[in-house]
Amino acid sequence: AQASLNAGLGALRGDGEGLRGQIRIGAPDGCANFLLPQVCGHITKTYPDLDIQIVALPRVFNLTRREADMAIGVSQPTAGRLMVQKIADYRLHLAASTALWQIHKRPERLSDLKDLPTVGYVQDMIFDKELDYLEPLGLRRVQLASNSISVQMNLLRQGAGLGIVHDFALPFAPELRRILVDHLSLTRSFFLIRSTDDRHNRRLNQFAQVLVSGLRVEIQRLEALAEAPGGKF
């Protein structure tokens, strides 16, 4: 399963030769839990003198104060002395566990969603408008809410409701299936954000190149698994 990731990162080995020391990455919950472990784990195997810290916090990181060496965001910042590089698009769909249909009727159209319990973000803790998935659907009540996508997914796995889930996270939750994929499909993007003060920092430039390459490969790999037969109702 890791063959494509290995190939993608292996191609950059020469460019990152000598990567060492500590690098801290700030990232939103979904990316930190379901993408960075595989990518960073592989990077440290390739560069054993490199120490990577992953800080998973549901907020924007202040790079000027050195809360992190670089951050991954879901939107492009509009202020600050920052360098921004688009990493990749990713997709999200409604998902639920089969356990939910033991209690409720499975929806056939988006208008049926109002009769089902919903899992999502705590509304006043959404730190980026790109994470406000449910508002466009008119689903203003979230019966079970968390600021963590990992908690949301565990609620969904218990059959507590339905919610919006990253396609790249679905392979980690075999109890979940995408639903109404022909009615709702969301696309968002990840961006790598760095301080312009680091523009000529060769070590961070090399690491950023390896990181972005690995994330692109891993998003593609996991989304392909979510698309596989049996991945939706």
For residue 164, the one-letter residue type is I
Residues 95 and 74 in one domain: no
DSSP symbol at 154? H
Q: Which amino acid belongs to residue 40?
A: C
Look at residue 232 and tell me if it is in a domain.
no
Mean pLDDT for the stretch of residues 139-160: 89
Judgement on whether residues 168 and 54 belong to the same structural domain of the protein:
no
Evaluate if residue 221 carries a pLDDT over 90. yes
pLDDT tens, position by position, 13-48 = 545 557 889 999 999 999 999 999 999 999 999 999
Amino acid letter for position 37: P
**What is the pTM for the complete model shown?**
0.87
Q: Is the pLDDT of residue 233 over 50?
A: no
The top-scoring range by mean pLDDT among 45-49, 109-113, 133-137 is 45-49
Q: Give pLDDT tens digits for 58-85.
A: 556 565 566 789 999 988 887 778 899 9
CB-CB neighbours of 154 under 10 Å: 15
Domain tally for the chain? Answer: 2
Query: What does the angle CA 161 – CA 225 – CA 75 come to, to the nearest 5 degrees?
Result: 70
Does one domain contain both 97 and 179?
yes
- Range with the poorest average pLDDT among 117-121, 151-155, 218-222: 117-121
Q: Tell the residue number behind the tokens 């000598």, with chain if given.
A: 18
48 lies in some domain:
yes
Does 170 map to a domain? yes
Closest CA to 93 of 31, 169, 36: 169
| Domain range for 195 | 3-89+189-227
13 found inside a domain: yes
